[in-house]
Amino acid sequence: MGVALLEPGGFGNSKDASYIFGRYIDFRSGGNAGPYLRQGWSRTSETGRSTIGPWSDMIFSFDFSKKRDMVLTLFARPVFAAQDDEFWVDVLINGTMAVRWSFDRDNQNENWYSTPLQREYVAAMSPMHVTFVVGSTDPTSHGSGLEIETVGLRD
């Protein structure tokens, strides 16, 4: 698995990350995730892209004029480093913690993950930054994370 090193701003600026509310971003080969990704992602594969390192960042740019609650939804599977029996992923929205998902080796299947986002998380501004911060009880751990197939925002 290769690592895609991205500068701030990633593959393009926030205008390139124009998002149509309710659609899914496809992280698999041939998908449309490139413009939304910033730092901390693997290269694409048939099954998706993985978070790399301690955090991975993506950006959504869309019309925030209608403040509303929404749900961040993704289809992903946990990927474990050899030394990890468990790890967690904190999801930050514009720098504010929205949810912590915990994983252990007994549950390594693909699954849908979602978290409601209150209007307070999604300030009336664009773009919206979504950051996945990976943590482990082993401070020497590197390599656990999520392999993501799709991500979307919905009502």
Average pLDDT, the chain: 82
Alpha-carbon distance values, 139 to 60, 98, 118, 136 (Å): 31, 23, 32, 7
What pLDDT digit, counting tens, does each position of 76-89 carry?
A: 999 998 888 889 99
Fold of 3-154: Jelly Rolls (2.60.120)
Pairing of β 55-60 and β 86-93: unpaired
pLDDT at 12: 44
What pLDDT digit, counting tens, does each position of 46-101 carry?
A: 999 999 888 999 998 876 666 678 899 999 999 998 888 889 999 998 888 889 99
Report d(CA 25, CA 41) in Å as an integer.
Answer: 14
